[in-house]
Structure 1
């Protein structure tokens, strides 16, 4: 009986050591993946990394990781060349095959998303408008029903004019974004010239670029917190 107890204790210790070894290996690997992801995906800083599945060493031995999650508190993309900060950018990599003697990896599929606050969207859009110099301005917010609330301004003869508020939608098509509002909703404050300037500006197409290499913008959706972005990718090299 005593021998059985000793054997059980020894077995328990070995199991604990195996688990500890697996977790240590996982911790080291996550740090390595973070470093490689920063370089390969063109990130300014290392992302947080979480390798899912247990045991980790068994996955490595098979040369395949079920899922790897990457996360960044903030990521600097661009809209028509102007910086646009995407908050809480997270990407789930699925079907990650280890390559080149475990020094590289390719993810079969990537899905993720982030958030652009309305304050950030207003700031970036304002910089675009400043370049055009047409005296038009807009402040973004949320409207019920998953739409955008646009507070319009215009400048005439050096005077700032609050044109009014309209609701609209943001449309993603062929990689470009367009603001769409019903022309009937555009206030007539300021006269025909102001109305035409608003129409001309809203008709402009804009492109969000500079996302991590291998990811493309899949959808945009106004939420109460900001503009939610979803991104997708396939056969992404992350190491």
Structure 2
């Protein structure tokens, strides 16, 4: 009898291990189902918000390619139940105003909406407001598009030491000289990008007053205010700075509806 005792004790241990394995498998299956359901819900919400953002962009007089929307934060379903989302990222490409004129288009506008309020009924039906506490937008204006707007043959723009640099061939008193220099970049009261070329020089410039006057006149001729397209979501431009890729535009807004309320 003493030798049979270990076999008698082992059976419940094996049954316990089997039950634990079954429990772990069931838990993993449940977690997997919840994750799949969470991701499916994200996809539904992203499609709904995409449609609403498209309407809002058109309503505000801007034009762009179809918006690309990504809802952040995990788990998503708890955000749905609370009616509050951590982050919604929106990408708008080829943003331009309804009236082009001389306004320059933005190849890409990245919009980051934080602490977004939207009820479940709004997401499901598209009726009601989707409001973000803060909206931050960033875009880059290419130097080629700016140079085309200035319309000076051979003129090239680039970033030089954190400033907007220019290089251009200029005829001064019958001599073909290469002009170089930098510009001050700022935002005007009208929300335009102000370019002011105040520091131009040219190697070999004749040492006569009229030559310097001609160079100054050229600087004034390429100093312009560049109109940007009307930005959606009430975004107001706060900063423009030269970068290696182009002029980086930063805009923001607060308490903004990012959809057209039904």
- Interval containing the TM-score (normalised by the shorter chain): 0.7 to 0.9
Q: Which of residues 25, 32, 36 in structure 2 aligns to 1:16?
A: 32
Alpha-carbon distance, 1:194 to partner: 3.6
- In the TM superposition, 1:206-217 aligns within 5 A as 206-217=226-237
Aligned 8 A contact 2:170 2:179 in 1: no
Q: Which of residues 119, 138, 155 in structure 2 aligns to 1:113?
A: 138
* Number of equivalences: 227
1:65 aligns with 2:85: yes
The normalised TM-score by structure 2 is: 0.73
Q: Any stretches of 5+ residues in structure 2 without a counterpart?
A: 1-15
Aligned 8 A contact 1:86 1:116 in 2: yes
Q: Which of residues 134, 147, 150 in structure 2 aligns to 1:125?
A: 150
Aligned 8 A contact 2:137 2:250 in 1: yes
For 1:49, the equivalent position in structure 2 comes to 69
Greater displacement, 142-151 / 159-168: 159-168
Q: Which of residues 150, 166, 174 in structure 1 aligns to 2:181?
A: 166
Q: Which of residues 182, 204, 229 in structure 1 aligns to 2:198?
A: 182
The normalised TM-score by structure 1 is: 0.80
For 1:132, the equivalent position in structure 2 comes to none
Cα distance, 1:230–1:214 mapped onto 2, change above 3 Å: same
Please give the per-residue CA displacement for 1:142-174, whole angstroms capped at 9, x wherever unaligned. Answer: 243111122345689xx9965622222212242
Q: Any stretches of 5+ residues in structure 1 without a counterpart?
A: 127-135
Please give the per-residue CA displacement for 1:172-201, whole angstroms capped at 9, x wherever unaligned. Answer: 242233223335x35567847744542543
Q: Which of residues 75, 78, 94 in structure 2 aligns to 1:74?
A: 94
Cα distance, 1:44–1:88 mapped onto 2, change above 3 Å: closer
Quick check: which has more Rg, 1 or 2?
2
Cα distance, 1:199–1:225 mapped onto 2, change above 3 Å: closer
Q: Which of residues 1, 10, 35 in structure 1 aligns to 2:51?
A: 35
